Amino acid sequence: MSLPNYTSWNYRVWHYTYLTICALVFFFLIAPLFIILPLSFNAEQYIHFSAGMIALDPDAFSLRWYEDMIYGTKNPWGLAAKNSIIIAFFATIGSTILGTVAALGLSSRHMPYKAAFMALLISPMIVPLIITAAGMFFFYSQLGLTHTFTGLILAHTALGTPFVVITVTATLTGFDTNLIRASQSLGADTLRTFFKVIMPLILPGVISGALFAFITSFDEVVVVLFIGSIEQVTIPKQMWAGLRQETSPVILSMATCLVLLSIALLTTVELLRRRSERLRGIKV
């Protein structure tokens, strides 16, 4: 969007300076991706830019590491991907249900101590993850949930719930409660009002929170190291072990796939956010 003709010169200078600063920050954040992506197509077994890659020689690029990631011997990445998807799927379901119910409760004007409950619900996002993981380990060990998929799912559910609470609470901001009264005045019970009136309006926020919870679970490694066993290996844990034991370009191939997955999910979240704003009349 260009500036109006009547804009003063000092404002123009600040405007373009601000855009330059934003561009530099953006480049600083995504610069590592420009390194990972081409290296994942390296034909050699070492993680470096070979002379052929620098010269853009087609023979220097290969899909061998992507093939090894999928069809490799013993294929530990396949097991890790399977575990990550299963854990993230069930953790997302739990986080979505708990976060949505909590957000609905916090949005009620009759809810006492809203600030205290909100601080408690989002505490997993504030407390350092290493402390949260250590606390979960000692708590779950008393219940016999360590080294189990159930323990990992519950732990990831606790980590993903705050994202659902925040997104659904933001969606409920400015929610017209007259719609609920109108539904009840027409004879609809509480359950029917929720699924026919409330849920369609907050659905974009619920899906956005679920996607954030899925990303959080899918990328989590600290809790897996504390609670999981050698059988509960996930993609982040496999990448961590690969960096410590055997540095292979397969790690870069998996990292590239995760980056593309994150971009797709975040794009979906942005589209849902815009749809939510249109449904609530914030933006046309």
Number of Cβ within 10 Å of residue 90's Cβ equals 18
The contacts of residue 79 (CB under 8 Å, 6+ apart) are 233
Which of 142, 126, 175, 136 has the alpha carbon at shortest distance from 157? 136
User: How confident is the model over 173-228, as pLDDT tens digits?
Assistant: 767 777 777 887 888 887 888 888 888 778 888 888 888 899 888 888 889 988 88
Classify burial at 100, counting beta carbons within 10 Å of its beta carbon; exposed 0-12, middle 13-18, buried 19 or more.
buried
Task: In whole angstroms, give the CA distance from residue 235 to residue 243.
Answer: 12
User: How confident is the model over 131-175, as pLDDT tens digits?
Assistant: 989 999 999 998 888 888 999 999 999 999 999 998 888 888 767
User: How confident is the model over 34-75, as pLDDT tens digits?
Assistant: 888 888 888 877 777 777 888 888 888 888 878 777 775 556
Domains along the chain with CATH numbers: 9-60 (no CATH), 75-279 (1.10.3720.10)
pLDDT at 81: 82
Task: In whole angstroms, give the CA distance from residue 99 to residue 213.
Answer: 10
For residue 10, pLDDT beyond 70 = yes
pTM of the model: 0.77
User: How confident is the model over 12-38, as pLDDT tens digits?
Assistant: 788 889 889 999 998 888 888 888 888
DSSP 3-state of 234: coil
pLDDT at 92: 93
Task: In whole angstroms, give the CA distance from residue 63 to residue 69.
Answer: 10
Which of 123, 142, 156 has the alpha carbon at shortest distance from 222? 156
- Check if the beta carbon of residue 42 is closer than 8 Å to that of residue 60: yes
Amino acid at position 247, single letter:
T
